[in-house]
Amino acid sequence: MTAVHQVLSSAGPYDAVSIQGLLWRRLLRARGFGGHDHAATVDPRARADFRALKELRAEPGDLVVIRYSAYSPKLLPVLALPNRRLLVYHNVTPPRYLWNHHAGVAVACAVGRTQLPRFARAADLAVGDSDFNAAELREAGAAHARTLAILFDAARLEDRGTPPVPGAGPLVLVVSRLAPNKRHDLAIAAFAAWRAERAPDARLLIVGESLSPSYRAQLERIATGSGAGAAITFADGLSQRDLNAAYAAADVLLSMSEHEGFSVPLLEAFHFGLPVVARPAGAMPEVGGDAVLWDRGGDVAVTAELLELAVRDLGLREGLARRGRARLEQFAYERTAAATLRAVEEALG
């Protein structure tokens, strides 16, 4: 049996890269491929699905899939293996966002970006999960890098738990890792402005794991200082069921992110028929297309007015939901699964 092994720099229970690893494994297993998934660093909560990188045993003829989202020195020996390699690039956060917030992660990102050409050149096939990422790969030296969209599994969004937010009133949802490039500070400022000006009973739910406990504390201080702190809830460690419930209970998804390699929450919002207000950063426009209220300015008051439109204008909401469903067809599981298997076969040679 041909084996396909996946290698990640780090694996966790909630991040998009690890979830893609799991979805690929399910697909590969269904198509008769063997292999295991490994990471340089494995969060204890992900140990059931990912093994330590040092346990990687690739036989001749096996394919090694490298999911590149950050640098780890432990990844380098993978380039010395005689196996064929498929590089999947998920993007690396520009370090400028991190220098003042987490020096260690900033260094990993800075080195990750400078080391990308080395991985790009060593790949038998290189793909980015968006045109934005594929373009960066080509710049890094993988001349024939192309786009291979993520596997979007809508079935995991069906099971509903309990929304982790009290009260009534319009609910704004932000779903992304708490990291400076995601600009939660702008989301909080826009929400506070909207609440003060238009929606005194509005609530904000911010879902995501934090870069560090101190960064979360900083965001909590920003929330308190915004004057809307009592209406803002931070939630991490949410199960998929509870996240689904949050999507179902929300009135709008907000993203003020300045750097996105893909953005799965956009697709999740489309699945729930939820209008989206977002900045057109990185790969966001190619994922969201015409189904998003794009915030092209730099004024949180305008973002607040976009929230007002997204929540109160019923005709606009229906139109966005219709367009969102059309966008989802572009990322239909059957289509991207077939493309994924074709890429694996091609990489195997």
Partner 1 sequence: MTSPEDAFARAEEEVARRRAGGGYAGPPGGALDSSLVAEEPSREQLAEWAVIEIDPDEVLYSSRVGAPLTFFKRLLARLLRQYLVELEARQTRFNIALLARLDRLEERARMEEEAGRDSARDSSG
The answer to the question of residue 294 lying near partner 1 (CB under 8 A) is: yes
Nearest-approach distance from CB 96 to partner 1, in angstroms = 5
- Angle of helix 300-312 relative to helix 314-330, nearest 10 degrees, comes to 90
Candidate ranges 33-41, 95-103, 147-155, 326-334; the one touching partner 1 (CB under 8 A): 95-103
Crossing angle of helices 333-348 and 16-30, rounded to 10°: 80
Q: Is 333 one of the binding residues for partner 1 (CB under 8 A)?
A: no
Closest separation in Å from C-beta 161 to partner 1? 21
Helix, coil or strand: residue 238: coil
Selected binder of partner 1 within 51, 84, 101, 160 (CB under 8 A): 101
Task: Give yes or no for residue 214 binding partner 1 (CB under 8 A).
Answer: yes
**Is 27 a residue that touches partner 1 (CB under 8 A)?**
no
Residue of 48, 315, 329, 334 interacting with partner 1 (CB under 8 A) = 315
User: Least CB distance from residue 51 to partner 1, whole Å?
Assistant: 27
CB 34 to partner 1: min, Å: 40
- At residue 229, the 3 state secondary structure works out as helix
- Minimum distance of partner 1 from residue 124's CB (angstroms): 32
Residue 179-208 contact track with partner 1, rule CB under 8 A, x = bound = -x--x-xx-xx--xx--xx-----------
Distance CA 100, CA 29 (A): 43
Which residue of 1, 80, 155, 296 would you call a contact of partner 1, by CB under 8 A?
A: 296
Q: What backbone phi and psi angles, to 5 degrees, belong to 173? A: -115, 135
147: left (phi over 0), alpha (psi -120 to 50) or beta: beta
Q: Which of 39, 78, 211, 222 binds partner 1 (CB under 8 A)?
A: 222
| Nearer CB in complex with partner 1: 85/113 | 113
Smallest distance, partner 1 to C-beta of residue 275, A = 9
Total residues binding partner 1 (CB under 8 A): 50
**Would you count residue 281 as binding partner 1 (CB under 8 A)?**
no
Q: Tell whether residue 97 is a contact of partner 1 (CB under 8 A).
A: yes
CB-based contacts of 33, cutoff 8 Å, min separation 6: 1, 2, 3, 4, 344
Burial of 55 (0-12, 13-18, 19+ CB in 10 A): exposed
Helix (H, G, I), strand (E, B), or coil: what is residue 4? Answer: strand
How is residue 14 annotated by DSSP?
S
The stretch among 33-41, 55-63, 64-72, 310-318 that binds partner 1 (CB under 8 A) is: 310-318
- Residue 184 CA to residue 126 CA, distance in Å, equals 32
Distances (CA, A) of 216 to 17, 176, 192, 225, 234: 22, 13, 18, 14, 9
Angle between helix axes 184-197 and 213-225 (nearest 10 degrees) is 20
User: Which residue, 84 or 101, is less far from partner 1 as judged by CB?
Assistant: 101
Helix (H, G, I), strand (E, B) or coil at 199: coil
Nearer to partner 1, 162 or 214 (CB): 214
The verdict on 139 binding partner 1 (CB under 8 A) reads no
Among 222, 216, 220, 232, which residue's Cα sits nearest to residue 164?
Answer: 232
Site for partner 1, residues 232 to 271, rule: CB under 8 A: 256
Give the residue among 47, 248, 283 at the shortest CA–CA distance from 157: 248
- CB 201, min distance to partner 1, A: 18
Site for partner 1, rule CB under 8 A: 94, 96-97, 99-101, 180, 183, 185-186, 188-189, 192-193, 196-197, 212-214, 217, 222, 225, 256, 290-306, 308-310, 313-316, 319-320, 323
